[in-house]
Structure 1
């Protein structure tokens, strides 16, 4: 007999796209239950509140994204950064319509709602920035001497998030590509000729 019991990760995966497309506040409990296929009792067994669900989604999405973008270290750290941008572009070009960065969208929607979301998202974006900085440090020999890897990491992450936000706004694959090409140009301009 097949076990139909949904795990916590199953529920998170089931509601992630719905919240990504509709927004956290715009998605009601009835929609969450329908999308996840669990009863309200099971849902509240996993998440004591909708805010707790929000925090769980932040961790769940970041763990998936981090695994995709940073789990396999390459010999060429700079090439890995270009690959990171390429992977982000592929993910968002495959969306129809482009929904932007899930984590970035939550910044806009949740940081004023509850201070704990601000702190949680700061922690995630600081970690993402540090992952980029670590790769830049590893590829330091390819960078111009005046380039500060930590500052460049901050600039790259800001440019990526801006590109994904505009990707959602315009929902235009060509525009998204041009914005992410700006991220690639920023990285290229930091390298030795």
Structure 2
């Protein structure tokens, strides 16, 4: 990844850039009262099986698409919440984007709020916080690569996608308690992963600062959220460049 990145904290004069099976034939000579013996020989078990026309054994086939519709809705909501935020991404926009009828939404979710909680869980998984605990790499390297990954994700989408946690926090956290708790939990989990890596770096001497690692971890999360806001406006990499400079040239030394 680092070969694809050219960041200002390495060159302060250069902007931050990221570079259904076939029908079986019936035996016309077979007696209607005599059962045809099962086929024998290799591959026999792949041939016709009894009972597949019985509704009791095929009812599940009609239910399978429901799970697919739910996933289509979640996928579309992930993109729309990510790009437009909570308020601007209404149920109709989400279902239109998913290519499903609006009425199908309520077969799977009680409300947009309930869907938002699912999206937050998926967003958290997409941040790959487990890499911050990868003992195969030095902790300071993990921290830098983590934020480089986050930056590249935003740059690759033309600075049009922000942070789902940040979007929900500014738009819905004040009046929807469930979303507020979800956002708080997401930020806490993220900050804890960063804090653990900072503590390791202090222990191995790669970070000499004696500042409390929890304070540093929380500050980095908040500073990154601010950098995202700046990039949504400027779209030139300058806010990310400032973040990397201060974070890795000053704070984490």
TM score, norm. by length of structure 2: 0.66
Residue 220 of structure 2, aligned match among 150, 156, 159: 156
Task: Sort the Cα spacing of 1:189 and 1:176 in 2 relative to 1 into closer, same or farther, 3 A.
Answer: closer
**Match in the other structure for 2:89:** 27
CA distance in 2, matches of 1:188, 1:8: 45
Number of aligned residues = 188
Any idea what the Cα deviations from partners look like across 1:125-180, whole Å, max 9, x if unmatched? Answer: 0100000001112222222252221111011111111101111122x223243233
Higher share in helix: 1
List alignment gaps of at least 5 residues for structure 1. Answer: none
**Aligned-pair CA distance for 1:191:** 4.5
Residue 142 of structure 2, aligned match among 80, 93, 107: 80
1:90-129 aligned at under 5 Å gives the runs 90-129=152-191
CA distance in 2, matches of 1:41, 1:67: 36
List alignment gaps of at least 5 residues for structure 2. Answer: 1-19, 21-63
CA distance in 2, matches of 1:124, 1:95: 22
CA contact (8 A) 1:144 1:190 kept: no
CA distance in 2, matches of 1:190, 1:67: 21
TM score, norm. by length of structure 1: 0.85
Cα RMSD (Å): 2.3
**Aligned-pair CA distance for 1:67:** 5.2
1:57-68 aligned at under 5 Å gives the runs 57-66=119-128
**Match in the other structure for 2:247:** 186
**Match in the other structure for 2:208:** 144
CA distance in 1, matches of 2:154, 2:130: 14
Any idea what the Cα deviations from partners look like across 1:17-60, whole Å, max 9, x if unmatched? Answer: 22222222222222111111233443222211111111111111
Q: Is the partner of 1:173 in helix, strand or coil? A: coil
Structure with higher Rg: it is 2
CA contact (8 A) 2:85 2:164 kept: no
